[in-house]
Amino acid sequence: MKFTEPAGPTPLDQERVLTRPHPRKEGPLKVTGQATYAYEYRDAALRDAAYGFVLGSDIAHGSLLDIDTAEAEAAPGVQLVLTHKNMPAQGENPGVAPQQDDATPQLAGTAIHHHDQAIALVVADTFEQARAAARLIRVRYRRLDGAYDLAAQLGQAEPTSDSEDSVVGDFDRAFGSAPVRVDVTYTTPDQSQAPMEPHSSLAHWEGDRLTLYTSHQILHWVHRGLAKTLQVPQKDIRIVSAYVGGGFGSKLLFYADAVLAAAAARQLGRPVKVMLTRHQIFNHTSHRPATVQRLRLGAEKSGRLIAVGHDSFSGNLPGGDAETAADQTKLLYAGEHRLIRTRLAELGLPPGASMRAPGEGVGMLALECAVDELAEALDMDPVELRILNDVQYDPEKGPGRPYSSRRLVEALTVGAERFGWKERRRPGERREGDWLVGLGVASAFRGNLVQKSGARVRLEQDGTLTVETQMTDIGTGSYTILGQVAAEMLGLTLEQVTVRLGDTDFPRAAGSGGSFGANSSSSSVYYACRDLRTAIAKELGFDPNTAVFEEGYVRDGQGGKRAALRGLAGKGGLSATGEASFGDLTERYVQASFGAHFAEVAVDVVTGETRVRRLLSVAAAGRILNPVTARSQCLGGMTMGIGAALMEELKVDTGRGLFVNHDLAEYHVPVHADIPDLDVIFLDELDDKSSPVKAKGIGELGICGVGAAVANAVYNATGVRVRDYPLTMEKILSGWSRQERG
């Protein structure tokens, strides 16, 4: 069904099951170890699986001169060593950087494009044998110089095809004549997604048909891309990804574990499993690229924005995408003269790709701090400045393209009242013992995306319902919310619905990414259930338009007759398939989720140590399908926002082209002791132009702007403005030192 007009009343509006706080359906399976992840399948046909270990390149740019595998092949338990010399023919990738559903060949030649690129796979009877044998491979390289430092390559950066420049009015004239101006540059470092479950795959061939159990967020992407890579018809490949232990964008692509497990399993005639090590996650898979962002904001003395300028620079391998950190600036605030540009430099670091809230995740770190700097220059309250520059339509295209819904002002005012914003003082004025205390604010913005998605529902003979879709659950609650939608539509309890996910034998679904998963896949379940309701009503001779489904029964809305769902279907059940596709509503209306973040931090006057004490997020994201899972998504995003502000940073060896802190001991992420009192408020909202479910994406909204709120609070506490993330102790101490010298 194509969604082309705003949604009217639907059975979902009853909200008997939907919007209610249900714990995750799969939670007990996970905490008891019964949820099977990709590496763990042990069906009868998989019990003799061999183990593969990927050997990565020690150089970042150059070529292989020789690779000697003789000693490894003779090692105990070794069944196969794959290199470029014996790897089967593969499809070609048009660039060097992997893309979501393109061929991603491995061991395809002698050229080395980035550090830890796969150069061999050792397969043995045990993991330990494979790992030990990999160390016996002798490799000679031809090392070439490469570019690994973004700051040094800014002059070589060029426009990109994935983000158009925004040029509205006469920015240079307007900015040059603005009574109040800020011109500041912020930098964000490379960051790693570092999911709990490593990237892993288990491949099993039955004749010419491959089943690949893998950890992936969007199955039809890996399905299509793997078929291109292996040069196997897509119909002969089945992908299974029932449970995913986190992805945050890194599992939107597929890597050596999937390709090499499949190739080795076919050659050996035996199942092969491959899991990347924790170190390999950092240098073999994707990461969020570093950015350099220049913000220029010009305003009248009243605070009204006149000129909005944002230039964003990032780097990637040839064929890779830019980090679109300036894109939210096109839509968030008013300002009639605008110049917003994205530029990409070619770097030889490991591939840059999506990380939770790509674009806004780091773009808001710069924009929302620049807005605070403008507020200070105006001697104006930062909340008031944001409210003053609210706009209810696309500021580039004008009133002809309004927002489908935009409750930013309410989020700011509700948050300010609830957080106690009126207690905020001037920078450096509030001290408690050895701690300087400050408050900070930032807006939250994440574009609302929707994707084509399908689902199948089946009424079983016992009156229960089964939902099947390729949609994945990466810890976000997909099992639960899809069950709630189905239960609401058929008048059942959540316990009466079984949800099966993550299998390409099911209808193709949106998958988990871009905050489009829940809204899109719920829409397909809605349409499937709507068709099933119609079929059931007609079977009973009821009018489908007035039939009422409640408490396991169907009631004729006209005559008052009713029939139980139990026993209505035969042994094979009664099924319906629904597909949600989306028309031009995203073009006719700007669609986005909004919110506001408020942070309180304390900074030690001796060490510069920063502690976040309180954090509040107020979110407006359409219908909240499940407040428990939605809150969890926000809390996770807020935690990642704290990490981005204070600690997360991949350290680049600019001589050798690798990330040197490639583990969770040295790549710092927040732990329980770092996370304070977090709170989330959801504003009541239905967005009838977003989907038939009237929801919007929320999974990434929780991170967008949090880091800026923390940074603004640090400035309010200390009087030190740090524009180079993360805000570490030495940077704050250096700021104090400069103040003393000044």
Q: Give the catalytic positions in this structure.
A: 700
Helix, strand or coil for residue 683?
coil
352 within 8 A of 316, measured Cβ to Cβ: yes
Return d(Cα 636, Cα 699) in angstroms, integer.
9
SS (H, E, C) 51-63: EEEEEECCCCCEE
57 close to 115: Cβ distance less than 8 angstroms:
yes
Cα(409)–Cα(155) distance, integer angstroms? 39
Residues 74, 68: Cα–Cα separation, whole Å: 12
Q: Which one-letter DSSP state was computed for residue 502?
A: S
Is the previous residue joined to 726 through a cis bond, with omega within 30 degrees of 0?
Answer: yes
Among candidates 320, 344, 315, 343, which has minimal Cα distance to 147? 315
Q: Which two tokens stand for residue 558?
A: 């006209």
Q: How many Å from the N-terminal Cα to the C-terminal Cα in the chain?
A: 65
From 642, 620, 632, 596, select the one nearest 695 (Cα to Cα): 620
Q: Compute the distance between CA of residue 503 and CA of residue 240 in angstroms, rounded to an integer.
A: 5
Distance CA 152, CA 154 (A): 6
Q: Are 212 and 262 in contact (CB under 8 A)?
A: yes
Q: Report the greatest alpha carbon distance in the chain.
A: 86
Helix/strand/coil (H/E/C) assignment for every residue in 644-705: HHHCCCCCEECCCCEECCCCCCCCCCCCHHHCCEEEEEECCCCCCCCCCCCECCCCCCCCCC
Output the six-digit token pair for 18: 């939907």
Interatomic CA distance for residues 295 and 340, integer angstroms: 9
Residue with tokens 């196997």: 232
CA atoms within a 13 Å half-sphere pointing along the CA-CB vector of 154: 11
In this structure, the number of other CB atoms found within 10 A of the CB of residue 574 comes to 17
Distance separating alpha carbons of residues 224 and 124, to the nearest angstrom: 29
Residue tagged 């509040």 (tokens)? 616
The DSSP output letter for 148 is -
Q: What is the rounded CA–CA span in Å between residue 323 and residue 360?
A: 9
**C-alpha span between 557 and 71 (Å, rounded):** 77
* Six-digit token string for 392: 């209810």
* Burial class (CB within 10 angstroms; exposed 0-12, middle 13-18, buried 19+) of 184: middle
Q: Which of 221, 229, 225 is nearest to 249 (CA)?
A: 221
Structure-token pair, residue 521: 């896949």
Q: How far apart are CA 444 and CA 410, in angstroms?
A: 12
Distance (Å, whole) CA 225 – CA 222: 5
- Distance in angstroms (rounded) separating the CA atoms of residues 602 and 61: 44
Three-class secondary structure of residue 384 per DSSP: helix
Strand partners, 116: none
H or E element: which one contains 238? strand 237-240
Burial profile 111-132: b = 16 or more Cβ within 10 angstroms, e = fewer:
ebbbbbbbbbbbbbeeeebbbb
Q: Report whether 213 contacts 220 (CB < 8 A).
A: no
